[in-house]
């Protein structure tokens, strides 16, 4: 689809680089917004424990 365009002439490594940059930009946005939200509404110990338990469940689920 991109053949004949400027983007079609980019090497594969450039596509991977652009993909990584986009992922890093998205991750930074999510981390910054999460920190701002946590500053406004601190999490309770029960919420943190539940979040950690659910995360562990996801990682150790068979």
Q: Provide the residue range defining the domain that includes 37.
A: 7-60
Tens of pLDDT, residue by residue over 7-27, are: 677 788 888 888 899 999 999
Angle (nearest 5°) at CA 17 between 4 and 26? 115
* pLDDT(28) > 70: yes
Residue 12 inside a domain? The answer is yes
The token pair that represents 4 in the structure block: 């004949």
Q: How many domains, in total, are found in the chain? A: 1
Residue 1 inside a domain? The answer is no
First to last CA, the chain: 40
Average pLDDT, whole number, for the chain?
85
pLDDT of residue 4: 59
Percent of the chain with pLDDT over 90: 39
Residue 2 inside a domain? The answer is no
Percent of the chain with pLDDT over 70: 87
The token pair that represents 52 in the structure block: 């950690």
């Amino acid at each position: 689809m991109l053949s004949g365009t400027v983007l079609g002439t980019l090497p594969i490594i450039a596509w991977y680089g652009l993909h990584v940059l986009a992922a890093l930009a998205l991750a930074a946005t999510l981390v910054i917004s999460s920190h701002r939200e946590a500053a406004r509404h601190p999490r309770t110990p029960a919420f943190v424990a539940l979040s950690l338990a659910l995360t562990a469940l996801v990682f150790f689920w068979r």
